[in-house]
């Protein structure tokens, strides 16, 4: 988008973003999301992401996010364990290797720099 806008995050319709099989540690988590803004050079993304309960691994981008609903524990390899829930803001560093234990379906708004 090339103009200012508002979006009600809790009601936003999201699209399926299948996880790679090797990312799933346990459960049957499903991921949905939507990029709502991307810079012209493609290096900055703003969007909404949601994951259902389960345990998954990931390698992170440079990201700031705010949890809208749900809860999770994010273990960062060689770093802290983050417990996040509604209203929490978190920052993940590019290259962080994480394990997400999603307790209840988590929806977040994010800003990623690539």
DSSP assignment of 37-77 equals EE-TTS-EEEEEEEE-SEEEEEE--EEEEEEEEEEEEEEET
Helix H or strand E segment including 90: strand 89-92
Q: Confidence class of residue 97 from pLDDT cuts 50, 70 and 90? A: very high
Q: What is the pLDDT of residue 3?
A: 82
Neighbours of 9 (CB within 10 A): 15
pLDDT tens per residue, range 33-68: 999 999 999 999 999 999 999 999 999 999 999 999
> Is this structure's pTM higher than 0.85?
yes
pLDDT tens per residue, range 8-33: 999 999 999 999 999 999 999 999 99
Contacts (Cβ under 8 Å, ≥6 apart) of 105: 50, 51, 52, 53, 69, 70
């Amino acid at each position: 988008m090339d103009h200012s806008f508002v979006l009600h995050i809790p009601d936003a319709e999201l699209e399926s973003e299948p996880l790679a099989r090797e990312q799933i540690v346990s459960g049957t988590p499903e991921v949905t999301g939507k990029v709502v803004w991307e810079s012209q050079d493609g290096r900055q993304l703003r969007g909404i992401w949601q994951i259902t309960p389960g345990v998954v691994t990931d390698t992170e981008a440079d990201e700031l996010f705010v949890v809208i609903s749900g809860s999770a524990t994010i273990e960062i390899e060689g770093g802290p364990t983050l417990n996040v829930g509604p209203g929490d803001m978190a920052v993940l560093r590019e290259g962080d290797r994480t394990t997400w234990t999603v307790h209840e379906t988590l929806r977040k708004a994010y800003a990623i720099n690539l």
